[in-house]
Structure 1
Amino acid sequence: MRERISASRWRFWLLLGANRWLLAGILGACVFFAFVVLGVLDFPTLRTTMETTDPVDTIFQGLVGAIITGTTLVVSINQLVLSQEIGPLGEQRARMDTAMDFRQNTDELFGSISPAKPSLFLQQIIETARDRAAAMKSAVDDSENTEMRENVGTYVDDLVENAETAIDELDEATFGTFDVLMAALDYNYARKMHDLRRLGEKYEDDLSDEQRRTFRETLEALTMFGPAREHIKTFYFQWALVKLSRAILTAAVPALVVAGGMVVFVDATSFPGQLFGTDYMIWVVALAFTIAVMPFLLFVSYILRIATVAKQTLAMGPMVLRNSESPSDE
């Protein structure tokens, strides 16, 4: 996945891999130290400025209003998510019918009842595509066309390697974390569908009926992975938005208390003395500001991941949008 989106290790970790609370904490530490550095470099000092005007009071008054407004928006996010779960009987029945139709399709693909766990469900689709690709390779081994055998062999080897990586990741994945969706994103099914269709078209005249059947069956398995991944992605987005709402609500209460306290109780005579040669007032204001903006930093950390996943999964099917993985159509 990281190679396909041409991201460095740190950028990939920042956008997708990091725990969202940890990332928000790192962003908060950056805000804190930036505020301290600016306070140390400022002249006249913050305490001197507070004796004539009160920038601290002005900033935290604005933050009190922003926190209350942001918390209200969180309620709107929850309503957006829940609106898809709450509806009249007809809509719920239509959702159930659609879900069961897809389950019946996957039951036919597997030859057995589809797993209920998302990780096992995706894993079985990938395993089915891998096994059918291996059967396709065996079917063309007897072909007299050496070029076709080599190209199909290269294609299947790449598919199997990618499948094994995704299967290993899904073995340890639990829904509710990003691991399941991350493993699904690591399986580059769109490129595989495109390459398989090109191979089928290029060697159409050289394929026997049995070989064509194995090509169709492999493509069928790959095709089923697309809607399955989008289905799991939708669940993850709903889950992530609910977690985002809870995280912001959790951070909003202490942020509101701290911001309100700075407005009501802090003036130029508060917190006399120095720490490491820096006025206590700078440390206190920097810490209070960091706590007050923590709901926003949590919002940023969650939306970074959601937006990145959405960008990487804009297309479904054999449509490749990124230059880093665009196949040659020569």
Structure 2
Amino acid sequence: MSIIAVENLSKIYPVAVKQPGIKGTLTHFFRRTYREIKAVQNVSFYIEPGEVVGFLGANGAGKTTTLKMLTGLIHPSEGKVKVAGYTPFRRQPQFLHKTSLVMGQKQQLLWDLPALDSLKINAAVYNLSDKVFQQRLSELARMLDIESKLIQPVRKLSLGERMKAELLAALLHHPQVLFLDEPTLGLDVNAQVAVREFLQEYNHRYQATILLTSHYMADITALCDRVLLIHQGQLIYDGSLEGLLARFAPCREVRVELARHLPTDKLSQYGDVKAIDGQQVRFLVRREDLTATISRLLSELQIQDMSVSEPPIEEVIGRLFSAGTVT
């Protein structure tokens, strides 16, 4: 049975329209007119227990609106949604015990108090006994490597340390479903890696279901086997990340370091030349031609180094969002 079931979910916002000038102001005051903004349109998907799913889209595509409907913060205009067997907008206590939402742009910890004080408040809210609280606090703090920081005021923590403390607070009640909205936003590379490793370990240890939005593709490739793509409020792809690359990135990236510089027209016979930097050349080669092309490169050119990889996933996702379709 799916732990998250979404069927034809939509959210439509009425927005007041006002014409300029005094007449427009008076009309707006006495007889207001509205237009509809369709933030999310007929979105359907199912997520099984223990899955880690990436939810991708450009700014304003509808990701955060969808997450807010899944967590019960806003009421959907149309459609049905079930999370852990509950209807989110009813905000039943049992539902709140089974889910958690972490938003990278917002915080739940009290700014001037030590994080530990906020964690004690959370423990009281979720009716955790002192024994359970101490056990979970010790375990999660050790996994996050933040034991020594919990007695410092939150305002004195670094951004990465605050994010770890936010995760600890969100997971103290061991939710079955975790919604993450840009959890690594603004973090440095080391902090991003630490958060990803923690989420991987938490998922493996507790089989928690995670729905993750992020503009950092490294988060998605490190954590998610499946991705959902939303564009202008509509779901345009639901499938594996590997399948997405195979379908929409038919080329492999070949980088070579030549013994001497060669002109572009000489190099273009081996593939689509994307960049030349001195003796460094970057090609795109179709997958079916890859073996033959590499053989030609090695036999016909003086090559000092070579590497073959998938093209950057950012380029693939960016092309899909620009096109607005996967057909």
Task: Identify whether the pair has TM-score above 0.5, normalized to the shorter chain.
Answer: no
Task: Name whichever structure is richer in helix by fraction.
Answer: 1
Higher relative contact order (CA 8 A, sep 6+): 1
TM-score under structure 1 length normalisation? 0.23
Task: Name whichever structure is richer in strand by fraction.
Answer: 2
TM-score under structure 2 length normalisation? 0.23
